[in-house]
Structure 1
């Protein structure tokens, strides 16, 4: 989530962000292939991901908190592209990240949107 947030907010090059995370963070505990696929997959299809969940929002995309926007993109990508990951796991991980990094009730919003989306996609 942090790498995608950095890309979203700063517009840094993906290869630079990925190299930074691989060298500066405790990356040996991370699934590097999954990290790469998620980072590049979300960035490559950001508009398509936004279009998938935008109809489920109660506000404009531009009004989303950047953390919530990033988490919704991640969750949407995982629901669409990683069918091997159970939808409940995708939602629970996004909610946990929203609790840690997001606004006070952001986790409830993430849960509601991704739950509706999971019913459509799975």
Structure 2
């Protein structure tokens, strides 16, 4: 779904992130192939209002960069990755992936979208944890953007 300027609508990206979170959670839990999960999600969901390209990028990009993402996050975590709730971990990985790979998405949007994901799919107060971790991670991954935003 595209806007007139050929950029995806924010709602289409949000839906892509929601489906990617669910698909990555499924991948994490049962280790099915990403291609079969992607096909299943496309068959089982109305994709007309989803940025399918972004869904694909996240779904395949996070596992491809898993060790890099986990290394980037580890210094700002207060516990081991294994101790994180699987939904929180998946949302953090998506947020970290976007911070590293999608500079076209402002870091504040990345953080907000991750918060919205865990508000919808995570434990009651997990959004506070996600906010804190990504807020610490953003200056490490997007120092210049964060500095210029905070100068305002």
Q: Which range, TM-score by smaller chain?
A: over 0.9
Which residue in 1 is equivalent to 2:69? 49
Residue 25 (structure 1) shift: 0.5
TM-score normalised to structure 2 length = 0.78
- Residue 112 (structure 2) aligned to one of 82, 87, 92: 92
Give the deviation of 1:38 after TM superposition.
0.7
User: 1:20 matched to which residue of 2?
Assistant: 40
In angstroms, what is the RMSD of aligned CA positions? 0.7
Aligned partners of 2:33, 2:120: CA distance in 1, in Å? Answer: 26
Quote the residue 2:56 is aligned against.
36
Could you tell me which runs of 5 or more consecutive residues in structure 1 were left unpaired when the two chains were aligned: none
1:4 to 24, 42, 50: 24
Structure 2 unaligned blocks of 5 or more: 1-20, 143-152
- Tell me the matched-pair count: 122
Runs of 4+ residues deviating >2 angstroms: none
Larger radius of gyration: 2
1:81 aligned partner: 101
Taking structure 1 as the reference length, the TM-score comes to 0.97
Whole-angstrom distance in 1 between the partners of 2:50 and 2:127: 23
What's the CA shift for 1:5? 0.7
The higher relative CO (CA closer than 8 Å, separation ≥ 6) is in 1
